[in-house]
Structure formats: C-alpha cells, structure tokens
Amino acid sequence: MNPQNPHADGTGSTADSAAPPLRSDAERNRARIIAAARAVFARDGLNASMASVAREAGVGIATLFRHFPSKEELVAAVFADRMEAYARATDEALTDPDPWSGFTGYIQAVCAMQAADRGFADILTMSFPGAEALEALRARAYNGFLELIGRAKDSGQLREDFTSRDLVLLLMANAGVLSATGDAAPDAWRRFVAWVIQSFQAPARGPLPDPPEDAALYAAMLRASHGVTSPGTGKRR
C-alpha cells in the first residue's frame, strides 16, 4: 500500500483536460495566476491565502475563483511540473549502477527540491485526494522508491528495518527544519539530511521502534493538507 495515498491507482486526470479552450485574455489571466501562485507558495508556503495570490497576479479574487474554484485545484496546477520532476527523480536514481548511491542520491535530490520551494516542501508532506494527477505522480515516485529500497537492501548497504515510511518521516522532519531555519541558516537542512542518511546505512547501530502504520501516516498527511488556509479567508479549514 502507498502510505502517501492508499487510493492512488497510477492514473489521473485534471478537470482542465475536458474544459473548452479559453479565450486569449482568459489564458493570459490563468497563466498570470499560476505564475503568481508559484511565487507566493514558494515564498510563504501553502498557508498563503488565495487573496494574496490574486494580489500578486494583479487580478480580482473573482477572476481567480473563476479559473480555480478551490485552492486544491490551484495547488494541482502550480505543482504539476514539480511533482513530475519528483517522480522522474526515482527513474534517474534507478539508473545509478551503485544501489547505495542511487538510494542516497534520490533522498538528497528530493530534500533539495524541498529546500528550493517552501510550497513544494509542504506538498511532499501532505496528501490531496481530489488532485488525482498529483496523487498519481506521488504513487509513481513511491513505487520507484520501493525499487530503490530493494536494491539498496540486496546490496547489503541499507539496514533491513528501513521502510518507505521512513522517507515520509524524513520529509516531514526536513520540512520542519526548513521552516525553522529559513533565510537565517538556509543550508542547515544539508547537515540534518546527511546525519539521517548515515543512520540508514547498514550495519544497523541498534533496534528501532516500530514505524507508524500506513493508515496513520496517511491520516497525518491528510491532516496537514486540511490545515492549509481556506481560499480567500486566511483561516485554517
């Protein structure tokens, strides 16, 4: 089961794929909104309000809602390319002839993606069941990571009690480090991630407590996504 979305089936589509073509002015507004949302979410994270996105884009809030009736739809449009890169990173890691290098390189790459974009750091530790395309890409990345785990264990370099849920916990922890250090110590995450990667390496230094159950971890990710501010209100929904 995919702890990041047990319901992901590897398929996904967006409502836009069935939508009629937009007029040129509407297309420009949509592009401005997406560009503004990318900048706002990267700077302020997903708790940024829809009103702040509208201001950044120079459009009225009604125009924003005509294009994106919910914040979830806007998030899906903004981060589709980043989630594609996230999924593609597993494909690239699997081409590394050294299983440990592929495994650790993937972790470092994903954590670097988090560091580069606060909004994306949030996306990786949340789940958006209504955004099917995003969740399909998350499932693709998850399945690729399972292969990386298997290869690293078979090579004897990854401790046997490591599970895919440990990556979710690492990404949650790294998001916290990034939020806490911000511009004051922007590279602090690199030391944190290096320490954690060393703890993953075989031989194990000692036993670990059991990881959280898949359902519990998924519930935590849902709770995080539900904590994103409601569209246009600035209040947590």
Residues 165 and 222 in one domain: yes
Which pLDDT band holds residue 143 (cuts at 50, 70, 90)?
Answer: very high
Residues 35 and 118 in one domain: no
CATH number for the domain harbouring residue 186: 1.10.357
Indicate if the pLDDT at residue 236 is higher than 80: no
Rounded Cα–Cα distance for residues 205 and 225 (Å): 35
Residues 94 and 207 in one domain: yes
Whole domain around residue 48: which residue ranges? 23-69
Residues 65 and 159 in one domain: no
- 13 within some domain: no
Which pLDDT band holds residue 44 (cuts at 50, 70, 90)?
Answer: confident
Highest mean pLDDT among 99-113, 201-215, 221-235: 99-113
- 18 within some domain: no
- 214 within some domain: yes
Q: What is the mean pLDDT of the chain?
A: 83
* Residue appearing with tokens 């047990």: 6
Where does a domain end: 39, 69, 99?
A: 69
Q: What pLDDT, on the 0 to 100 scale, is given for residue 232?
A: 37
Q: In the numeric block, which tokens belong to residue 191? A: 């030391």
Residues 129 and 207 in one domain: yes
Indicate if the pLDDT at residue 162 is higher than 90: yes
- pLDDT tens sequence across 179-220: 899 889 999 999 999 999 999 999 988 888 898 888 887 787
Spatial contact of 117 and 156, defined as CB atoms under 8 Å apart: no
Residues 120 and 85 in one domain: yes
- 5 within some domain: no
Indicate if the pLDDT at residue 12 is higher than 50: no
Residues 56 and 92 in one domain: no
Radius of gyration in angstroms for the set of CA atoms belonging to the chain, rounded to a whole number: 19
Residues 65 and 174 in one domain: no
CATH number for the domain harbouring residue 44: 1.10.10
Residues 114 and 179 in one domain: yes
Q: How far is CA 44 from the centre of its chain?
A: 15
Which pLDDT band holds residue 22 (cuts at 50, 70, 90)?
Answer: low
Weakest-pLDDT range from 51-55, 102-106, 214-218: 214-218
Total of domains in the chain: 2
Question: What would the mean pLDDT of 17-27 be, rounded to a whole number?
Answer: 65
Which pLDDT band holds residue 31 (cuts at 50, 70, 90)?
Answer: very high
Rounded Cα–Cα distance for residues 19 and 142 (Å): 30
- Omega of the bond leading into 209 within 30 degrees of 0 (cis): no
Q: What pLDDT, on the 0 to 100 scale, is given for residue 191?
A: 97
DSSP string, 187-216: THHHHHHHHHHHHHBSSPSS--PPPPPHHH
Q: 201: which strand partners? A: 158
Question: What would the mean pLDDT of 47-51 be, rounded to a whole number?
Answer: 91
* Secondary structure letter of residue 15 according to DSSP: G
Residues 30 and 101 in one domain: no
- At 164 the three-state DSSP class reads helix
Q: 229: which strand partners? A: 236
- At 35 the three-state DSSP class reads helix
Question: What would the mean pLDDT of 69-79 be, rounded to a whole number?
Answer: 89
